[in-house]
């Protein structure tokens, strides 16, 4: 009778343990919209798919990451648009075993004028304020103006100083560099929305 109880208890513990761990698909590519998936165990039942488009002065990076959602913000679309630099990010989460089947996805460009106008300038190689008499009409959800000066490491590991004024959406202001994949801020002189 004792051995039956011990075995039953062990099986119950194994089943309970598996109820609190789920598997998610996991992969990362900094230069492609596709990546080779493996499986990882997650303590949280949520899985994540992260898609990112980054254009910087002629260089284009499409990136994707899949894995455990953990504390990642879910359902977030962040964007910033300027003639020389554009960032678009979307995170989607799901609940359940290996549920993050979605492919690279970004919401379609919204070309609707929203009534906001922002200064527009871009300087590479300096953290001094870029100055221009140009302005731009903001589109879609980009209803705020950004003034950024700092040092950034790009997905290809190059590091440069930038000064940018442009349109940005509230999510991009809220999460700043925390929501970006392999675009790392090394030094911040100013980030104002």
**CB neighbours of residue 93 within 10 Å:** 20
Backbone phi, psi, residue 88, to 5°: -135, 130
In this structure, is residue 3 part of a structural domain? no
- In a domain, residue 8? The reply is no
> CA-CA-CA-CA torsion for 142, 148, 151, 152, nearest 10 degrees?
0
Q: List, for residues 99-145, the tens digit of each pLDDT value.
A: 999 999 999 999 999 999 999 999 999 999 999 999 999 999 999 99
Number of domains in the chain: 1
Residue 4 lies in a domain: no
7-16, 64-73, 119-128, 167-176: least confidently modelled range: 7-16
Q: What is the pLDDT of residue 21?
A: 61
Closest CA to 85 of 107, 54, 109: 54
Residue 12, in any domain of the structure: no
Is residue 41 one of the residues assigned to a domain? yes
pLDDT at residue 168, as a whole number: 97
pLDDT at res. 73? 86
Task: List the CATH number of the domain containing 69.
Answer: 2.10.60.10
Q: What average pLDDT does range 4-13 have in this prediction?
A: 40
Q: Which pTM value belongs to this model?
A: 0.84
30-34, 80-84, 176-180 — which is least confidently predicted? 176-180
Name 42's bridge partners. 22
- Give a yes or no: residue 187 inside a domain: yes
Residue 172 is part of which domain span? 22-192
Residues 44-103: tens digit of each pLDDT: 779 999 999 999 999 999 999 999 988 778 999 999 999 999 999 999 999 999 999 999
Q: What is the mean pLDDT of residues 153-177?
A: 94
13: Cβ contacts below 8 Å, ≥ 6 apart: none
Residues 6+ apart with CB under 8 A from 34: 64, 103, 104
Residue 84 domain-assigned (yes or no)? yes
Instruction: Decide if 11 is inside a domain.
Output: no
């Amino acid at each position: 009778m004792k051995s039956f109880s011990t075995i039953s208890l062990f099986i119950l513990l194994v089943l309970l343990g598996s109820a609190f761990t789920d598997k998610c698909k996991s992969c990362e590519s900094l230069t492609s919209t596709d990546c080779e998936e493996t499986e990882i165990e997650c303590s949280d039942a949520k899985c994540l798919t992260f898609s990112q488009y980054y254009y910087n002065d002629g260089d284009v990076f499409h990136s994707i990451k899949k894995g455990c959602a953990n504390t990642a913000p879910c359902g977030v679309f962040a964007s910033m648009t300027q003639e020389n630099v554009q960032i678009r990010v979307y995170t989607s989460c799901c609940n359940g075993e290996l549920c993050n089947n979605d492919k690279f996805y970004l919401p379609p460009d919204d070309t609707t004028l929203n009534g906001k106008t922002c200064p527009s300038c871009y300087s590479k190689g300096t953290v001094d304020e870029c100055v221009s008499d140009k302005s731009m009409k903001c589109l879609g959800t980009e209803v705020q103006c950004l003034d950024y000066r700092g040092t950034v490491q790009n997905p290809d590991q190059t590091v440069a100083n930038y000064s940018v004024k442009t349109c940005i959406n509230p999510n991009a202001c809220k999460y700043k560099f925390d929501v970006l994949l392999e675009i790392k801020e090394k030094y911040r002189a100013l980030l104002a929305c």
